[in-house]
Amino acid sequence: MIDNIESLMHGFTVVLTWHHVAIIMGGVLLGILVGVLPGLGAPNGVTLLLPLTFSMDPVSAIILLTSLYWGALFGGSTTSILFNIPGEPSSVATTFDGYPMARQGRATEALTYAFVSAGFGALVGVVVITLLSGFVTSFALRFGPPEYFAVYFLAFASFIAFGGGAPLKTILSICLGFGFGMVGMDTVSGSMRLTFDIADLIKGISFLVVVIGLFGIGELLLTMEEGLEFKSVATRLSPVEILRAAGRMPRYAWAMLRGSLVGVWMGITPGGPTAASFMSYGIARRTSRRRTNFGKGEPEGVIAPETADHSAGTAAMLPMLALGIPGSATSAVMLGGLMIWGLNPGPMLFIEQKDFVWGMIASMYLGNVIGVVLVLATVPIFAALLTVPFTIIGPIIVTVCLAGAYTVANSPFDLWIMVAFGLAGYVMKKLDYPIAPLVLAMVIGDKAEDAFRQSMLISNGSVGVLWSNPLVGTLSTLAILFLLWPLLSTLLGRRAAPVVNDAHSREAVEPRSP
């Protein structure tokens, strides 16, 4: 614990420079813009900004990307409350009570509840990262190829068990990601795979181009189809009302704590912020004494999803750094960024790159405080952007996507790949296929393959190496349980159903005595 605090203090010495503070402020402002404008979103915002970080040092780069992420989450909350338009998928639950509050003339109150609870949730997530990161280093030297493969296997199985989508669709998404990730030169044998004699595919398919298409063009097509109409409410904030609303926050302390715990759990597992916000809202609605007010402007209906949303987004950084398992689509993109910067996610990262890891963690404390202040100060400005016709915003987004895809490798062929994956992203969204597992498989699929091959070479082809010691055996067993969890839960549900029906039939035949 003391070592963690000392490392955190070292991280603050890295971050507390004018250069990094300016990066945090700029990143948060860009993130708010990304969150406010429909058709972008945090994953695509981080993706579009990633090429600009290639010339930066890794510490500055990760601070910029994480700051943009926090800002995007705040921006999505702004549009959810003022316009009933979730700028982020994770902000959908906020519209249920946030927009009714705004329509009642309580926009300042709703925004204050959202931003303060979001800051609290993010703080809890960062504290969890600070406390748990020390345990990661103790396992650093115990990880070999079998352990790494078991971790990757666990990551994919976790998406199947807890991702929230249909298991078969998640499996298909992962398989597609594996297939796209295999295109190009095999790193072990040196042979070409799935290139179909196309010279441009020898270098493989860049995950960066893929996510620009999936998240940028795909989301834009959906937005065009929906034909958004912005119906705003008053966006003038009263400082006195902000202080009054902040003073009422202690009444909802339990809701914030509960939402933070839900968010941390869903962030560490691959549930992600969207699932966390819906789960927290559902729990709050079922357990609140004011459940009849939900959907009509209940403050707890804003606080619960916002707290979980931000704590999940923050906590997702821990498995991404420590195990190479992204807990959300945005952290999956950041995982690819780490590899581009020459850093290998995993337990050794905490030992070999202390400035990077603890500088990032320290910036998360500072970035969320700055984010709360900036978002309260800039709500009217960014809300005014939504008065711009989408016919102007749409082409700007397309231009940014084209520029981002081209700058990855200066290849015109990448633009066609981006367009193809944009159409694929649109179709996947329409058919409810999850995109994050595909991105995850493209990012770490080759590493999982290499770890599996090395494990088989070590054991002369015996799968028993995955149970050769308690650590790898536990990880492998959990992965198999997670993989089979949808099937097991279905079978258990079917066995419990007849019992429930029998109980109801007996109750109908034998009515209770008064």
pLDDT in tens, 427-471: 888 888 887 778 778 877 777 888 888 888 888 888 888 888 888
List beta partners, residue 220: none
For all residues of the chain together, what is the average pLDDT? 77
- 3-class DSSP state for residue 183? coil
pLDDT single digits (tens) 112-135 = 888 888 889 888 988 888 887 767
Report d(CA 84, CA 102) in Å as an integer: 9
Give a yes or no: residue 500 inside a domain.
no
DSSP-derived 3-state class of residue 8: helix
Residue 86: pLDDT band (50, 70, 90) is low
Residue 511 lies in a domain: no
**Helices within 183-299 (DSSP H only):** 207-211, 218-226, 239-247, 253-268, 272-287
More confident position, 509 or 219: 219
- DSSP conformation class of 315: H
- Specify the range with the lowest mean pLDDT, choosing from 48-52, 162-166, 355-359, 371-375: 162-166
Residue 164 sits at φ, ψ, to 5 deg, of 95, -20
Within a domain: residue 513? no
Domain count for the chain, please give it: 1
Give me the domain span that covers residue 296.
Answer: 2-486
Tokens of 311: 């704590």
The pLDDT value given to residue 508: 44
Residue 491 lies in a domain: no
Report yes or no on 505 lying in a domain: no
Q: What is the pTM of this model?
A: 0.66
12-26, 95-109, 137-151, 272-286: which range is least confident on average?
137-151
Q: Which residue has the higher pLDDT, 185 or 112?
A: 112
Spatial separation of the C-alpha atoms in residues 486 and 482, rounded to whole Å: 8
pLDDT confidence band for 503 (50 / 70 / 90): very low
Q: At 507, is the pLDDT very low, low, confident or very high (cuts 50, 70, 90)?
A: very low
Domain annotation covers residue 116: yes
Give 500's pLDDT tier (boundaries 50, 70, 90): very low
Instruction: Give the pLDDT confidence score for residue 251 in this predicted structure.
Output: 85
Q: What's the count of helices (H) and strands (E) in the chain, helices before strands?
A: 22, 2
Neighbours of 109 (CB within 10 A): 23
Convert 126-180 into a string of H (helix), E (strand) and C (coil): HHHHHHHHHHHHHCHHHCCHHHHHHHHHHHHHHHHHHCCCCHHHHHHHHHHHHHH
Whether residue 509 lies inside any domain: the answer is: no
More confident residue, 511 or 43: 43
- Report yes or no on 326 lying in a domain: yes
Confidence of residue 505 (pLDDT cuts 50, 70, 90): very low
Best CA proximity match to 224, nearest among 418, 90, 357, 389 = 389
Predicted local distance difference test score (pLDDT) of residue 264: 85
208: CB partners within 8 A, 6+ apart: 47, 50, 51, 336, 340, 404, 405, 408
Buried b (16+ CB within 10 A) or exposed e, 279-290: bbbebbbeebee
